[in-house]
Amino acid sequence: MERSAKSEQYSYFRSIPFLFDYPKNFSLKDGRKVMVRPMLPSDVDELYAFFANLDREDKLFLRDDVSDISVIKRWAENLNYDIVLPLLAFYDGKVVADGTLHASNFLWTRHVAEIRIAVSKDFRGVGLAKKIISELFFIAIKRGFKKVIAQIPFHQQNVIHIFDSLGFEKEAILRKHIMIQGKGFSDLLIMSAFVGNAIQQLKRVS
Ligand SMILES: CC(C)(COP(=O)(O)OP(=O)(O)OC[C@H]1O[C@@H](n2cnc3c(N)ncnc32)[C@H](O)[C@@H]1OP(=O)(O)O)[C@@H](O)C(=O)NCCC(=O)NCCS
């Protein structure tokens, strides 16, 4: 995309109070620098390529079949950051991580948001997931959600470690809730953070 067209699209973020400071640049633990910003309609091909490089197990937590490009096109056509906010990380023009903040569909849980994350294999272990999850958590706070949750396969100690380090607590275990082809059932852990508690903690630290 032309530079001017891009900056025009980026100026759109400035009109949204909780997104005004995107795109942002971050340095990873290995020195590589990534640019993070909300998904735009023009990201279809890059997002499709990102999902194509993930293992089948890595995609299990997604609700849609991302091997079908029309699914990603539909996301792009129906982008509504109030319902699903996809935050993408780019390296060298390529998508290397996709984190999403999902607002609840139900009226009685409208104060709850959920975070999901996937990072490309070449960019794991260098702090990218933690960076994007903390960005999404702060956006959730700014948007006024009262509770933020994550659904994590119980064996994924790295994901549990990330959410734990951001102040999330283990709230529930749903037994044999996940089925992984060739590996059988796995428990699903729900971790959650109450925004009121997180703000209190921040006040104590600062
Ligand atoms: C899970 C996933 C997002 C992690 O991404 P990542 O960028 O490698 O994560 P980070 O580098 O930010 O953090 C990993 C953390 O786990 C820690 N960790 C790694 N292995 C661990 C283990 N066995 N036990 C505890 N902690 C572990 C690392 O030390 C690091 O913590 P630190 O920053 O405090 O050192 C990535 O592997 C992925 O995309 N998986 C497929 C999709 C998925 O499963 N998503 C989760 C569903 S919500």
| pLDDT of the chain, 206 residues: tens digit per residue | 556 667 777 888 998 989 999 999 999 999 999 999 999 999 999 999 999 999 988 887 787 889 899 999 999 999 999 999 999 999 999 999 999 999 998 899 999 999 999 999 999 999 999 999 999 999 999 999 999 999 999 999 999 999 999 999 999 999 999 988 778 899 999 999 999 887 777 777 66
Whether the CB-CB separation of 147 and 112 falls below 8 Å is answered with: yes
Residue 58: its pLDDT value, please?
85
Distance 149 CA to ligand 1 centre (A): 17
Residue 140: its pLDDT value, please?
96
Residue 84: its pLDDT value, please?
96
Residue 97: its pLDDT value, please?
98
pTM attached to this predicted model: 0.93
Q: Is 102 in the pocket of ligand 1 (CB under 6 A)?
A: no
Look at ligand 1, atom 48, and give the residue with the nearest C-alpha.
116
Q: Is 66 in the pocket of ligand 1 (CB under 6 A)?
A: no
Residue 76: its pLDDT value, please?
95
Q: Is 69 in the pocket of ligand 1 (CB under 6 A)?
A: no
Distance 169 CA to ligand 1 centre (A): 16
Residue 203: its pLDDT value, please?
74
Q: Is 193 in the pocket of ligand 1 (CB under 6 A)?
A: no
CB atoms within 10 A of CB 184: 9
Distance 129 CA to ligand 1 centre (A): 7
Q: Tell me which of 158, 163, 188 to substitute to probe ligand 1's pocket, judged by most ligand atoms within 8 Å of the beta carbon.
A: 158
List of residues 6+ apart from 53 with CB closer than 8 A: 120, 121
Distance 16 CA to ligand 1 centre (A): 30
Domains of the chain (ranges; CATH) run 3-205 (3.40.630.30)
Look at ligand 1, atom 44, and give the residue with the nearest C-alpha.
58
Q: Is 61 in the pocket of ligand 1 (CB under 6 A)?
A: yes
Q: Is 157 in the pocket of ligand 1 (CB under 6 A)?
A: yes
User: Residue 183 region, left (φ>0) first, then alpha (ψ -120 to 50), else beta?
Assistant: alpha
Cα 182 → chain centroid: 27
Q: Is 125 in the pocket of ligand 1 (CB under 6 A)?
A: yes
